[in-house]
Chain A
Amino acid sequence: MSILEVKNLTHTYDGNTPFFSDAVRDVSFSVQQGEIIGIIGHTGSGKSTLVQHLNGLLKPTHGEILLDGKDIWENPKQIRMIRSKVGLVFQYPEYQLFEDTVYKDIAFGPKNMGFDDKKIEIVINEICEIVGLKKEYLEKSPFDLSGGEKRRVAIAGVMAMQPKIIVFDEPVAGLDPKGRADVIKMIADYRNKYDATVIIISHNMEDMALIADKLIVMNKGEMVLFDKTENVFKQHEFLKSIGLNVPMVTQIMLVLKQMGMDIPDDIFTVDKAVEFLLRLAKGGNTNA
């Protein structure tokens, strides 16, 4: 059974005003336990609106969200409990830090979920390892940290609730390449350690190629593609037509292909491309 199922989700903003618009229209998909799902799409295509439904921050105008087969809005009073099962890391999460020490800030979520002090301490130690926060940071003020460190603390704050499903809204926005790689790695580590399901919104196709099992492509509030990552990236012309692109290395491969080289169209990571080109070089120019 799928862990999370979205059925015919439609969300209309400002329904009664002249400014109303469908932010998300008739979106359906299902997610299996342990999968990493990427959501890509143009700015304003409804990605953020979509993910805010997954933990009940927004209520669908039409349609439903099933978590473990049960509608999350079945009992609206229990919606806070859904948030312990589906964690959501917002864009620029570092702006939501508020406590006077890093430890207290990370503990905010677990405390709200009713974890006792002992469990909180254990969880925080585990999570700090995943996000790469050193012990001595825990007693510092979060406002004395650098941007990248703040991001780690904020992500740790959501991870510490140990959600079964964790959703990231552009987790790498505004980070340098090293910071980006670190964040991608901690997401993968969290998934592996807790056997969690991950949903990521990103504009970075390279990261998606690296980490996502499946991709959801959003365009103007509608889901236009939902397929395995390689199947989505194979449709480079369609992606371009809706203002998206394939990973940089795939673009290079496409140019090489146009120049007459015999190149498969499923190369989406630099490692794979290097491997392929080396094989090509060793085998001589027979294919070219």
Chain B
Amino acid sequence: MLNDITFGQYYANNSFVHKMDPRAKLLILVTIIVFIFLAQNAVALSLIALLIFCGVFFSKVPLKMYLKNLKAILPILIFTLLINLFFTSNVNTQPSWSFELFLGLTITNLSLYRAFYMAARILLLIIISAELTYTTTPNDLTDAIENLLSPLKFIGLKNVVHTLAMMMTIALRFIPTLIEETQKIMNAQKARGADLESGNLIERIKALIPILIPLLISSVRRAYELAEAMECRCYNGGEGKKRMKQLKYSTNDYTAFFIVFLVCATTIAVNFIL
């Protein structure tokens, strides 16, 4: 159950995308997300989709991994699809055909188009975000965020950026640990006869208490231990520290930037033309 969501799991490999600078990947991610929403018609969106699938191809991460990720959001996807299918209002244009299902729920060619368009957007968003997390270690990612946000120190937020980045690093680092811990506690309570699988909603929520309380307590304990260990190693924030791993843009990154720029420019053009 807990292993279904592969989001945020690094898939070790040595591909073009893996080797890119995390800052470049992050900037490209943000750009593409913006352009997914800027794309106003199917042609523009399929251009972006093409770019994304190229990225997927070059990431050398098995398609199965992406599909596993999509399975987790399938309910949201279907929900969006249905909502758009039945509740798209056609104000500006008259639909060329329509089909009444029941209870006044009508499908038109416009709503069909819109439903798939919205679903495709969500799909692309998930795939591109998953690609970033598959190809970038969480630590690289926080380094990139810290680096990209570093101009904030000029407006009086000197320590904030480093502290936030450290908090994120720690949070990310402890996700697998906490999942493992949860699994252990669940097993321990199951061994004591806890029933987690049956009963109505309220009973199920109640059944979670024996898991959540020990988990909370152990998280607090871990936080204390970690804080002490960090102090023992003279951690005092980011001041006066140099990174062991310096981030550097390479030719790969510039190539990627250029390609993304081209696609985005075309998208805008397509938006205007069609």
Q: Which A positions have Cβ atoms within 8 angstroms of B?
A: 52, 55, 57, 80, 83-84, 87-90, 93, 95-98, 108-109, 112-113, 143, 157-158, 161
A112 near B185 with CB under 8 A, answer no
Q: Report the stretch among B144-152, B186-194, B259-267 that lies at the interface.
A: B186-194
Interface size on B, residues (CB 8 A): 17
Interface string of B199-233 (1 = CB under 8 A from A): 00000000001100110011000000000000000
Whether A98 touches B214, Cβ cut-off 8 Å, given contacts A52-B187, A90-B187, is yes
Whether A158 touches B190, Cβ cut-off 8 Å, given contacts A98-B214, A108-B210, A143-B217, is no
Give A198 Cβ to nearest chain B Cβ, in Å: 15
Residues of chain B lying within 8 A (CB to CB) of residue A112: 192-195
In the complex, A83 Cα to B187 Cα: how many Å?
11
In the complex, A259 Cα to B246 Cα: how many Å?
61
Residues of chain B lying within 8 A (CB to CB) of residue A157: 192
B188 near A90 with CB under 8 A, answer yes
B189 near A80 with CB under 8 A, answer no
Residues of chain B lying within 8 A (CB to CB) of residue A98: 209-210, 213-214
B192 near A161 with CB under 8 A, answer yes
Residues of chain A lying within 8 A (CB to CB) of residue B217: 95, 143
Give A144 Cβ to nearest chain B Cβ, in Å: 13
Whether A83 touches B190, Cβ cut-off 8 Å, given contacts A95-B185, A96-B185, A112-B195, is yes
B173 within 8 A of A: no
Residues of chain A lying within 8 A (CB to CB) of residue B190: 57, 83
B191 near A80 with CB under 8 A, answer no
B214 near A83 with CB under 8 A, answer no
B158 within 8 A of A: no
B210 near A83 with CB under 8 A, answer no
A95 near B214 with CB under 8 A, answer yes
Give B149 Cβ to nearest chain A Cβ, in Å: 34
Residues of chain A lying within 8 A (CB to CB) of residue B185: 95-96
Residues of chain B lying within 8 A (CB to CB) of residue A80: 193, 195
Q: Can you list the 8 inter-chain pairs with the closest CB atoms, starting with the nearest?
A: A112-B193, A98-B213, A109-B192, A88-B191, A96-B188, A90-B188, A98-B210, A57-B187
In the complex, A84 Cα to B193 Cα: how many Å?
7
Residues of chain B lying within 8 A (CB to CB) of residue A84: 193
A57 near B191 with CB under 8 A, answer yes
In the complex, A113 Cα to B217 Cα: how many Å?
26
